[in-house]
Amino acid sequence: MSSPSGPAQPGRIPARPDVGATAPGDRGDTAPDGGSGEKEPDGARPGAAGYRAVFAVPEFRYVFAAHLLSSLGVVVCEIALSFLVFRLTASPLLSALTFALGLLPYVVGGTLLSAVADRYPARRVLVVCDLLCALAAAGMVLPGTPVAVLLALRCVIAAIAPVFAGTRAATLGEILGEGDLFVLGRSVIRIVNQSAQLAGFAAGGLLLAVATPATVLAITAGTFLGSALLLRLGTLVRPARDAARGALLGASLTGTRRLLADRRIRALLLLTWLPPTFVVVPESLLIPFSDLLGVGPAGLGLLLCSMPIGAVVAEPLVGSFLGPHARARLTYPMAVFAVLPSLGFAAQPSLGWAVLLLVLTGTGISYNFGVDRWFVAAVPEELLGQAMTVMQAGRMTIMGLGMALAGVAAEFAPLRVVMPAGGIVGAVCVLAVIAEVRRTAGEAGEAGEIGEAGGKRRPGPLPATET
């Protein structure tokens, strides 16, 4: 591999061919039915070697370290800013709003700025996003900053997030290839996201116990700068995927419409978005639920940590002990299973049983293994960054909507009704989307374009409208 500071050759950069069982950058490594030409034994364990192979790619190690820093920065920033706003206003509403603003602006960045991910070189986009987040965090530190400005700066970070996430996801395809290493690389990113919630809340609480909110916010600005430095020094220069010029807003909206007009891509986006939407229903109601149990702050903290713990445990286990085909076969069952544990809240469980239900819910994250591979195979090369941006923005936006609707429902109905109702409605919706995904997989398979567990990416552009 050439020096990270040097330019990459145009086109895809294959992952190290000497690592792992297959060359993941080879688009022909998957048969139309999702196989690789030979059937993989169900008991095979390439995932264990796969995670090692992912970290054996030097560029990925830099991306991993940068993501770890920026993820911790975002979580700690949310906690510190919420604490600062509450100290300045004594308003629980405004304090809670700082967390909501971490989700709502995703739709703005993901829709109006999504073309950035493909129009400019990926490394430049990632570094600039981190620098802008660092500037926003630094602006929060300035003495006398009005609360409205603090919240606006939080919106800036949230609007940048989907562009950064989409660009990084597309870059993983260039670093690791389109095969199993890409899927495992995305798995590592999800593990970091869930772990950052646990470590970030703990670190934020400890830092706020010994330092002022302004000092903690200054530290978060440093994490963004550290992430930018790692990405600048450790990743290759790659050309933009789409060299088209014109109005950025128009290109973003046009690209989003083209993605949503494709039946296969639309179905996979819905499969990505819907399970998390209903998973967050019980999670968003844990504060009133803990009050109902009378467990206090310690019990609430345990409940809040349960779902990320389930995700952090399940993700590496599935990635390590199951091969690509077994993981693909788990996609549909786990997508449905993710929303089912909330049905247990109808029995008004004790703290221990509630923790178990939430841990089981967290294990449903493993359904993403199959969806990631199918999605990257369905999207044309020139729109990959924009597609990943739309995927991330839609997921976070619809999760925020799910939280809001759960809160509204809990105003009019008891928790023992609202929390399991999310599971019932979620199961129906997810099953309907799965049926659509299966139909589009069959159509694509007949066209020889994509298989149920992977396949070749379609080389041509998306149609302007669905045919």
Picking from 66, 173, 65, 68, the residue whose alpha carbon sits closest to that of residue 117 is 173
Q: What is the average per-residue pLDDT within 266-280?
A: 93
User: How far is the C-alpha of 59 from the C-alpha of 39, rounded, in Å?
Assistant: 31
432 confidence band (pLDDT: 50, 70, 90): very high
pLDDT beyond 50 at 393: yes
Q: What integer pLDDT is reported at residue 93 of this predicted model? A: 63
Q: What integer pLDDT is reported at residue 237 of this predicted model? A: 87
pLDDT beyond 50 at 382: yes
Q: What integer pLDDT is reported at residue 408 of this predicted model? A: 83
Note the pLDDT tens digit of each residue in 67-118: 999 888 888 888 888 788 878 887 766 766 666 666 666 777 767 676 787 8
Picking from 223, 289, 189, the residue whose alpha carbon sits closest to that of residue 78 is 223
Q: What integer pLDDT is reported at residue 45 of this predicted model? A: 43
User: How far is the C-alpha of 368 from the C-alpha of 214, rounded, in Å?
Assistant: 37
Q: What integer pLDDT is reported at residue 296 of this predicted model? A: 77
| Percent of residues, the chain, with pLDDT higher than 90 | 27
User: How far is the C-alpha of 262 from the C-alpha of 467, rounded, in Å?
Assistant: 8
User: How far is the C-alpha of 120 from the C-alpha of 382, rounded, in Å?
Assistant: 12
Which residue would you say has higher pLDDT here, 263 or 78? Answer: 263
DSSP-assigned letter for residue 210: H
What is the secondary structure of 130-141 as a DSSP string? HHHHHHHHHHHH
**What are the residues whose beta carbons fall under 8 Å from the beta carbon of 465, sequence distance 6 or more?**
261
The two tokens of residue 63 are 């991306």
pLDDT beyond 50 at 37: no
User: How far is the C-alpha of 82 from the C-alpha of 11, rounded, in Å?
Assistant: 44
Residue 44's CB is within 10 A of a number of other CB atoms, namely: 15
Q: What is the average per-residue pLDDT within 351-375?
A: 91
One-letter amino acid of 250 = G
One-letter amino acid of 87 = R
Name residue 7's beta-bridge partners.
237
Yes or no: say if 256 and 390 are a contact pair by the CB < 8 Å rule. yes
User: How far is the C-alpha of 339 from the C-alpha of 335, rounded, in Å?
Assistant: 8
Which residue would you say has higher pLDDT here, 293 or 385? Answer: 293
Which residue would you say has higher pLDDT here, 391 or 433? Answer: 433
Backbone φ/ψ region at 119: left (φ over 0), alpha (ψ -120 to 50), beta:
alpha
Yes or no: say if 423 and 350 are a contact pair by the CB < 8 Å rule. no
Q: What integer pLDDT is reported at residue 19 of this predicted model? A: 37
Q: What is the average per-residue pLDDT within 419-448?
A: 83
Note the pLDDT tens digit of each residue in 280-291: 888 888 878 888
Note the pLDDT tens digit of each residue in 159-184: 888 888 888 888 888 888 767 888 88
Q: What is the average per-residue pLDDT within 240-266?
A: 80
pLDDT beyond 60 at 445: no
Q: What is the average per-residue pLDDT within 242-255?
A: 72
Picking from 173, 187, 455, the residue whose alpha carbon sits closest to that of residue 321 is 187
User: How far is the C-alpha of 114 from the C-alpha of 108, rounded, in Å?
Assistant: 9
Residues composing the chain:
467
> What average pLDDT does the structure give for the chain?
78
pLDDT beyond 90 at 20: no
| Percent of residues, the chain, with pLDDT higher than 70 | 78
Q: What integer pLDDT is reported at residue 6 of this predicted model? A: 40
Q: What integer pLDDT is reported at residue 438 of this predicted model? A: 92
Q: The tokens 């965090």 sit on which residue? A: 137
